[in-house]
Structure 1
Amino acid sequence: MFNPEIFFKQRLTDHMKEMNRYLRYIFNQHLLIAMLFLISGLAFYYQQWLETLAPDFPAALLIGAVFGLLVSYSPVRTLLKEADLVFLLPLEPKLHRYFKLTIGYSFFTQLYMIIVAAAALAPLFFAANLGDGFTAYLLVIAVMLIFKLWNLHMNWWMLKVRNANIRRIEQTCRVVLNVGCFWFFLRGDLIIAGVLTVLFVALLLADFSISRKQGGLAWDLLIEKDQARMQAFYRIANQFADVPHLKTKVHKLQAVVNLFTRRVKFEQKYTYDYLFRVTFVRGGDYFGLFLRLTILSGVIIYFIPNLWVQLAFALLFLYLTLFQLIGMWKHHRTIAWMDLYPVAEGTRKRALLSLLQQLAIIQAVLLSLVFLLQADVLGFVLALAAGIAFGFVFVRMYVPKRLK
């Protein structure tokens, strides 16, 4: 006889084994040291910034927006697999308990985001005098937990609706109400916060009513959402280890491809140069990763007042970017055609090193321009020189050993 609790435990055990299999590669010593340095630096300057906090700074809006977006993002991890569309469909009436357990699992696994955000924003809450001590902040956290649970159930109910437009409208309304509730609650406007909470509860009841009218579970949508989240995790893990389950996602971006490939000569020895450049732009998330880390590091550098710490952060993000782009070496590992290319064996390695070297220079130039925005000519020169030198040493000395 089918037991939903035993089935959930089996799925959860398999899921945790799969996650732990790659987490030990992701949180390696290099990344932990980099994260420790980054968090320590940010915490130091965050504390300095709080000491000079202006009285008119919109702290309530900032904290309310973060908390509202945080509770709005409440995906339900159903732990479903593609074959379940066939084999579990006849058991749908017996899976009610199973999905309740997955909602509970999703709630507890997402608590770390609430804990991290609450710990990070607590100094700002107290510096802006938004409440009467620690008890008031605990009340805010308790409200967050309630809204998180509500959002999880609402998200689950809307997964039964196949119309994507209805889901998008509902999600937009939910985000606005979440942010508004926390914003006015932190400001002390309890009447407006109460009205928005009533509207939120009305939306919750409407979602429940809509879900009750659906014929059954949208199995294909549930599996698609769950698989998409696992693929996102695999893409991150693929930067640190070989992930055979990763499904390559291709992006068009033809204009960017032309920008990176137009100078590659149409000759046999440049076969891999062309391939790796197209892979960087269109394959996986390499190009997006490069943009995100460059923008994030530029913003951090801009707001840090100390020159030497700025340079340290520039080199840190340059290291993080290049380290993760090494994953392009294994991107085409399942394609046998590459072994049949009539090109010299060393051209593949040379092509990757050449691309990484150029990307290091591009990022070093972009980050050094941040110093020019601050009219810091010395910082511009030092950042450019240090970035290019670090990129050369990393690509020419560390990457070859990593490829072996």
Structure 2
Amino acid sequence: MNLDSIWKRRQQLHLKKFSRYSKYIFNDHFVIVLLFLLGALAYQYSEFVKTVTPDFLWGKLLIVAVFSGSIFIGKLATFLEPADQVFLLAKEKEWGSYFSKAKKYSLILPSILLFFLAAAAMPMLFAGRTIGASDFLPIYATLILLKIIDLDLQELGLKIGDKKVRQKNDLYLACAAILSFSIAIFFNPWVAPVLVTLYTMFLRKKVQVAYEARYPLYQWEQMIASEEQRKARTNRVINLFTDVPQVKSKAKRRKYFDGLLRRIEGNSNSYQYLYARAFLRGTDYSGLFFRLLTIGVLLLLFTPSAGFSLGLSLLFLYLTGFQLLPLYFHFNENMLYRLYPTQHADKFAGFKHLLAYLLGVEGFLFAGIIFINNSWQTGLAAVALNAGFVWLFIQFYMGGRTGKREAASY
């Protein structure tokens, strides 16, 4: 079996895994919510673009920063396995073609994301009289060329054991990106891809050759560790929607949450006690809750429309509640907790109290921000709507989503 067949087989397994989990990620509820969210954001963005003037310097600088940072989105997917450093070490000189295929595959998703990012930035640049419609092509080409350089440096980094050297190369690339996009936006967009092409030729003829002579061998332990981290990040994202066997959360003692824990753990319900600690000590649920809370707060702070703010508040309450539902089944595989001398109904009641507390706090914070940005009448409406939504979600939606799976496990 040669390396080409190994790459094809591993790529097929990866695509098969993604297709299996994609139906859980892009479920009906999430797609509907995503469409509403994108539509609302597009409307708000279009309203903002109408206020842009040709002298909006901060907007141009922001686009330069976003474009420069976006080229680092996406890591090199090598699909390496720990056993490769033992059984395929003898073919080390043939791994160049394998990593060439890996770079081409790793470019697919970033190229799509960069396309939508460039397309989203164009209306703001049009409104600022910075560029025209025909300038989209050189800007997108500059993004793709810089991303290709980033993947080349990631491949080169597989041979460089010194982390500082890899960071220095990333810094040089970031400076080149800032310079290229500054020229594209402030002067002439067609000059940027030419400069990037020249930079690429210099990189491959001078820098890469020098590094390959200095670091001729691959750092196998580093390569496998990097691929394991990439897989772990992907699995954690999928685990937000469905259980992934490869994801193993580690409990962490978080003393700074003791005050919050005493408020949400309950005094008479053993299940609420367990769920509260699983929520705060686990690395998934609390992080998910605080991330969604932070994103919702930031969006509401920059949303002056009263109606859109109310809808956005309800949307993030739904997203938070929906993503926290897997916590209900967190202890299902643990037989010891079933030995508790409690009724099974206490489990649902304990989780319901915890979820009501978390969503209530989130809804109250959202209502407070809406009150600050709008009138007190809108703030009171937000309190009433959020409270009603939390009650409906817990009393009706949560029971329907958890009932069938819970009945099957008993």
* CA deviation map 1:102-146 (0-9, x unaligned): 011101232111111012112112111222x22222111112111
Matched, 1:248 2:249: yes
* CA deviation map 1:175-217 (0-9, x unaligned): 3432332123211178997998677876774455335422522
Aligned residue in 1 for 2:290: 291
| Contiguous gaps of at least 5 residues in structure 2 | 404-410
Aligned residue in 1 for 2:408: none
Contact 1:231 1:247 in 2 (8 A): no
| 1:40 shift after superposition | 0.8
Query: Which one-letter code corresponds to 1:65 in the other structure?
Result: A
Matched, 1:111 2:111: yes
Q: Taking every aligned residue pair, what percent have the same amino acid on both sides?
A: 28
| 1:222 shift after superposition | 2.1
Provide the C-alpha distance between the structure 2 equivalents of 1:327 and 1:22, rounded to a whole number of angstroms.
16
Q: Residues 270 and 140 from structure 1, CA distance in 2 versus in 1: closer, same or farther, beyond 3 angstroms? A: same
Aligned residue in 2 for 1:234: 235
Contact 1:368 1:383 in 2 (8 A): yes
Provide the C-alpha distance between the structure 2 equivalents of 1:224 and 1:55, rounded to a whole number of angstroms.
48
Provide the C-alpha distance between the structure 1 equivalents of 2:171 and 2:380, rounded to a whole number of angstroms.
45
Contact 1:371 1:380 in 2 (8 A): yes
Provide the C-alpha distance between the structure 1 equivalents of 2:137 and 2:189, rounded to a whole number of angstroms.
17
Matched, 1:128 2:154: no
TM-score by length of 1: 0.90
Q: Which has the higher contact order (CA 8 A, sep 6+)?
A: 1
Aligned residue in 2 for 1:164: 163
Aligned residue in 2 for 1:89: 89
Provide the C-alpha distance between the structure 2 equivalents of 1:195 and 1:11, rounded to a whole number of angstroms.
36
Matched, 1:138 2:160: no
TM-score by length of 2: 0.88
Contact 2:306 2:370 in 1 (8 A): no
> How do residues 313-392 of structure 1 correspond to structure 2 at under 5 angstroms?
313-374=312-373, 376-392=375-391
* CA deviation map 1:236-258 (0-9, x unaligned): 322332322222244443212x1
Query: Which one-letter code corresponds to 2:100 in the other structure?
Result: K
> How do residues 164-243 of structure 1 correspond to structure 2 at under 5 angstroms?
164-188=163-187, 205-206=206-207, 209-214=210-215, 216-243=217-244
* CA deviation map 1:269-311 (0-9, x unaligned): 5333232222222313222222222222222223333212210
SS state of the match for residue 269, structure 2? Answer: helix
Matched, 1:43 2:42: yes
Provide the C-alpha distance between the structure 1 equivalents of 2:347 and 2:90, rounded to a whole number of angstroms.
51
Provide the C-alpha distance between the structure 1 equivalents of 2:195 and 2:310, rounded to a whole number of angstroms.
46
* CA deviation map 1:321-340 (0-9, x unaligned): 11001121233444343334
SS state of the match for residue 53, structure 2? Answer: coil
Aligned residue in 1 for 2:406: none
Provide the C-alpha distance between the structure 2 equivalents of 1:20 and 1:101, rounded to a whole number of angstroms.
21
Query: Which one-letter code corresponds to 1:214 in the other structure?
Result: Y
| 1:66 shift after superposition | 1.6
Contact 1:276 1:355 in 2 (8 A): yes
Cα RMSD (Å): 2.7
* CA deviation map 1:328-365 (0-9, x unaligned): 12334443433344443333322221111101111011
Aligned residue in 1 for 2:407: none
Provide the C-alpha distance between the structure 1 equivalents of 2:349 and 2:53, rounded to a whole number of angstroms.
53
Contact 2:180 2:192 in 1 (8 A): yes
> How many matched pairs?
400
| Contiguous gaps of at least 5 residues in structure 1 | none
Aligned residue in 1 for 2:73: 73
